[in-house]
């Protein structure tokens, strides 16, 4: 079974600890970016390791390929920095490393998995918004949290399982109050 990343967006607190952990794990370049939406939600954006990898399809050198874990991996040695993958990524999760002139993206911390360690973002998340594992296990544990909408396979994104947050109040300080 392929490994997938799980994000419970009900639990993301916008602390960006995953970014900092990823940056530390990848020699100063983070591959996960916490996005804040309308000051009401935050979500970590990284490579979704799509089931249908447009990036894999367009890569002219075969630098992007499916790994043994079922994730999408990028071989830095084979990347020529053409940027095609960045153009087709539906999530904008691939970035250009101007120093090394190659594409960069989440590698699912393959080097940590080899040592039986969790991906750095998962290990660090203080709110336990992030997890990873086999899809079937994650779905059954995520479904237990009833009332949450679970998104997977949307746009062929089997690589990432997401629990969407409940709607949140948008009310701000009562307008018209004397300041």
**Nearest CA among 135, 66, 134, 71 for reference residue 107:** 71
99 binds another protein (CB under 8 A): no
Applying CB under 8 A, the span of 40-48, 64-72, 92-100, 152-160 interacting with another protein comes to 40-48
- 14 or 51: CB nearest another protein: 14
CA-closest candidate to residue 43, choices 18, 20, 24 = 18
Examine residue 128 and tell whether it contacts another protein (CB under 8 A): yes
By the rule CB under 8 A, 24 interacts with another protein: yes
Residue 23 interacts with another protein (CB under 8 A)? yes
Question: Which positions from 56 through 95 interact with another protein, judged by CB under 8 A?
Answer: none
The structure tokens listed for 134 are 């086999």
Q: Which of 98, 115, 116, 173 binds another protein (CB under 8 A)?
A: 173
- Judged by beta carbon, residue 38 or residue 114, the one nearer another protein is 38
16 in contact with another protein (CB under 8 A): yes
Residues interacting with another protein, by CB under 8 A? 10-11, 13-17, 19-20, 23-24, 28, 39-42, 126-128, 145, 168-169, 171-174, 177-179
């Amino acid at each position: 079974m392929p490994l997938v990343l799980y994000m419970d967006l009900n639990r993301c607190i916008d602390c960006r600890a995953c970014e900092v952990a990823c940056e530390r794990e990848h020699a100063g370049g983070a591959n996960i970016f916490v996005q804040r939406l309308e000051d009401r939600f935050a979500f970590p954006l990284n490579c979704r390791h799509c089931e249908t990898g447009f990036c894999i399809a367009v890569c002219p050198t075969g630098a992007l390929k499916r790994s043994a874990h079922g994730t999408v991996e990028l071989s830095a040695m084979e990347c020529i920095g053409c940027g095609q993958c960045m153009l087709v990524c539906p999530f904008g999760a691939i970035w250009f490393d101007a120093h090394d002139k190659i594409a960069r993206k989440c590698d699912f911390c393959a080097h940590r998995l080899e040592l039986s360690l969790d991906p750095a973002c998962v290990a660090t998340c203080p709110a336990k918004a992030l997890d990873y594992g086999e899809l079937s296990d994650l779905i059954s544990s995520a479904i237990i949290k009833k009332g949450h909408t679970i998104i997977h396979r949307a746009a062929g994104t089997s690589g990432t399982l997401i629990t969407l947050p409940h709607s949140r109040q948008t009310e701000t300080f009562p307008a018209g109050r004397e300041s």
